[in-house]
Structure 1
Amino acid sequence: AEDKVPSTGAHDPYMHVFLDAGNGNVLAFFELPTQPDMDRDRNTPQWVQHIAFRVGSMDELMATKAHLEGMGLDVLGPTHHGIFKSIYFFDPNGHRIELAADIGTPEQMAQLKDVAQPMIEEWSATKKAPRHAAWLHEKIADES
């Protein structure tokens, strides 16, 4: 916590909080009590801007969903993505958070890795959704 911004010297009291995100990653958040409430980028669809975290299992995902709902948060999901299932919610500052539990097989992951580069190349050239991994969404439809 400081009263002045180290890089600019401007007076702007803040608390800088660092959270261990696992695997050597750190998330950093600021609380700025003298600034207006934070908001999201209105030029980007609400579902796009989010931070995703992996949880250990579907049981953990569902227990977390129940816990969040018990705290009064609106939680979307679980949403089936073929190789993982996710829940989504907004933190108190309006950041969208995704929690995801892996359900994919090693074979599915290998298939996706094999088509990743061709998909990126096709997308870059056409800006249309490549069909290299359409099997994943067809699998979801079959399970529904």
Structure 2
Amino acid sequence: MINIKQIHHVAYRCKDAKETVEFYRDKLNMEFLVAIAEDQVPSTKEPDPYMHLFLDAGNGNILAFFELPTKPEMGRDPNTPAWCQHIAFEVEDRAALIAAKEELEAKGVEVLGITNHEIIHSIYFFDPNGHRLELTYRDGTEEQMQKLKEVAPLMLEEWSVTKKAPKHAAWLHEKEFSDQAK
């Protein structure tokens, strides 16, 4: 039986390896751990030079990037909204999120939020590759999380049939939307 321990790393493509390391090191204070470069892909044996970078995303989590200089310029899937694909990093609490927002803005990063998702609060911004990033802290109660877990199968089943947003967890953003209407 497969027994997953944790995510070892998640890898994304980057436009420029050095610029990417500098962004994550200087803006998000991540430690640059490892660089691996080859002229041939080990798994497929394709001749394709690359630089593979690994950064410490905290708590044993690793964020990795590939620079692929022989491939066409990196782009986004034009059919997927920019807000949809993102990498979320957790901070300790609200004070840490506010401090992170202030630090990022002082470093010239445009930040959206703080957005209230009721069980978490988040800020959003982009890295130099166009990847959307999120910093978040958890503040949901055990009861809220249990309620969400209980309705998840019902919501999935309803969605699979109707392709319309089920309302079982609408309470998550009702306050946020009512605040925006004012």
Q: Same fold (TM over 0.5)?
A: yes
**In structure 1, what is the equivalent of residue 169 of structure 2?**
133
* Alpha-carbon distance change, 63 to 111 in structure 1, aligned in 2, over 3 angstroms: same
What is the match of residue 8 of structure 1?
45
Could you say what secondary structure the match of 1:125 adopts?
Answer: helix
1:65: which partner in 2?
101
- Write out per-residue CA displacement over residues 86-108 of structure 1, whole angstroms, 9 at most, x where no aligned residue: 11111111110111111211111
**Alignment correspondent of 1:90:** 126
Matched, 1:77 2:113: yes
Decide whether aligned partners of structure 1 residues 58 and 9 sit closer, same or farther in structure 2, where only a CA change above 3 A counts: same
Alignment of 1:24-35 (within 5 A): 24-35=60-71
User: What's the counterpart of residue 33 of structure 2?
Assistant: none
Scaled by the length of structure 1, the TM-score of the pair is 0.86
Inter-partner Cα distance in structure 2 for 1:21 and 1:116: 28
2-structure distance, mates of 1:110, 1:143: 26
**Structure 2 Cα separation of the partners of residues 33 and 59 of structure 1:** 40
**Does 2:140 match 1:104?**
yes
Deviation at 1:11, TM superposition (A): 4.1
Distance 2:71 2:99 in 1: 35
2:98 aligned with 1:48:
no
Equivalent position SS for 1:118? helix
What amino acid is aligned across from residue 160 of structure 2 in structure 1? S
Unpaired runs of 5+ in structure 1?
none
Structure 2 counterpart of 1:26, which letter? I
Q: Deviations over 1:30-88 (max 9, x none)?
A: 12345454221111111111111221111111111111111111111111111111111
Q: Distance in 2 between matches of 1:139 and 1:76?
A: 18
Q: Normalising to structure 2: TM-score of the pair?
A: 0.69
Given that 2:118 and 2:173 are in contact with CA atoms closer than 8 Å, whether structure 1 keeps it comes out as: yes
Structure 2 segments unaligned to the other structure (5+ residues): 1-36
Aligned mates of 2:142, 2:160 — CA distance in 1: 27
Aligned residues with identical type, % of pairs: 63
Equivalent-residue separation in structure 2 for 1:142 and 1:103 (angstroms): 20
| SS of aligned partner of 1:46 | coil
